[in-house]
Amino acid sequence: MTAHFKPHDRLSSNTPRGITQGKVVRVISTHTTVDGKSVDA
């Protein structure tokens, strides 16, 4: 199942170092450059 996120959605993930929480700032759905690095969505 693929999740579709919107800006301001709150997320959490269970990692080996504990639970990580955050929110979606922007949704990237195409090839783009972020902080000088190439990102494929």
Give yes or no for a contact between 23 and 17, defined as CB atoms under 8 angstroms apart. Answer: no
What's the CA dihedral at 40, 4, 1, 20 to 10 degrees?
A: 80
The pLDDT of residue 2 is 63
pLDDT tens track for 1-34? 467 888 999 999 999 999 999 999 988 888 888 8
Domain limits, the chain? 1-31
Tokens at residue 18, please?
């504990």
Contacts of 23 by beta carbon, 8 Å cutoff, 6+ apart: 8, 9, 10, 11
